[in-house]
């Protein structure tokens, strides 16, 4: 968490909660944690929209009661700001997890639990960037096929080992090439090592 502040702007958490007791309690818990963030307080969705226009908001913590009958507006905001994560505060009145939030906690959860929930959200926050980096990310099966390829196995051998048809192996190979942009087997070997899919020690040089 601390590393984050060294090269990124600190996490910005916005709390939308009309109760001052709850707001200040949450703020205290967050500030005493190692999240390394700054917090702002707002009271309405309109304020959120205005704020999003000028500042980046990473996480919104909101009393879920404030979402009642506002689904459309919230969806619109989330669509316009896909990196915004939303954590709901459950008051115990609404039992089911709202589809509008990514996670939630109750007023009776421990401070550790709340921080843990926010940390998970923060990681999810970073994932869009990660996803972009890894638009080449391969499925588990593709990785298995690639491992076979890199080890010099023939299509038939890979098919037998994975208990799939040769046709399927060929399809996986095609997808691997489309995703990675690498066609040759020796190029794929270097790819697999760079991505730590195989160990360089396993490859004969």
What is the contact surface with another protein in residues (CB under 8 A)?
136, 180-184, 186-187, 189-191, 193-195, 200, 203, 205
Closest approach of Cβ 194 to another protein, in Å?
4
Closest approach of Cβ 148 to another protein, in Å?
18
C-beta of residue 169 within 8 angstroms of C-beta of residue 160: no
Complex with another protein: residue 21 or 205, whichever CB lies closer: 205
Complex with another protein: residue 22 or 203, whichever CB lies closer: 203
Complex with another protein: residue 10 or 187, whichever CB lies closer: 187
Complex with another protein: residue 93 or 205, whichever CB lies closer: 205
Closest approach of Cβ 122 to another protein, in Å?
25
> What one-character-per-residue DSSP string does the chain give?
-HHHHHHSPPEEEEEE-S-HHHHHHHHHHHHHSS--EEEEEE-SHHHHHHHHHHS---EEEEEGGGGTT-HHHHHHHHHH-TT-EEEEEE-SSS-SPPTT-SEEEETTS-HHHHHHHHHHHHHHHHHHHHHHHTTTPPPHHHHHHHHHHHTT--HHHHHHHHT--HHHHHHHHHHHHHHH---SHHHHHHHHHHTTSS-GGGS--
Closest approach of Cβ 190 to another protein, in Å?
5
Cβ neighbourhood burial of 47 (10 Å; 0-12, 13-18, 19+): middle
Complex with another protein: residue 63 or 180, whichever CB lies closer: 180
Complex with another protein: residue 5 or 137, whichever CB lies closer: 137
């Amino acid at each position: 968490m601390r590393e984050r502040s060294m090269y990124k702007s600190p996490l910005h958490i916005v709390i939308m909660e009309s109760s001052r007791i709850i707001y200040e309690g949450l703020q205290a818990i967050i500030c005493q944690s190692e999240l390394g963030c700054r917090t702002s307080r707002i009271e309405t969705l309109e304020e959120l929209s205005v704020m999003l226009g000028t500042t980046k908001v990473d996480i919104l913590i909101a009393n879920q009661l404030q979402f009642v009958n506002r689904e459309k507006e919230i969806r619109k905001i989330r669509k316009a700001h896909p990196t915004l994560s939303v954590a709901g505060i459950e008051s115990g009145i609404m039992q089911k997890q709202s589809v509008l939030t990514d996670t939630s906690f109750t007023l009776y959860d421990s401070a550790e639990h709340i921080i843990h929930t926010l940390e998970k959200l923060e990681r999810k926050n970073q994932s869009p960037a990660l996803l972009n980096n890894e638009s080449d990310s391969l499925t588990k099966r593709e990785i298995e096929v690639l491992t076979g390829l890199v080890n010099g196995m023939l299509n038939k051998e890979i098919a037998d080992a994975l208990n799939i048809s040769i046709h399927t192996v060929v399809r996986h190979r095609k997808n691997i090439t489309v995703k990675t942009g690498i066609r040759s087997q020796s190029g794929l070997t270097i790819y697999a090592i760079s991505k730590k899919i195989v160990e360089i020690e396993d490859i004969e040089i």
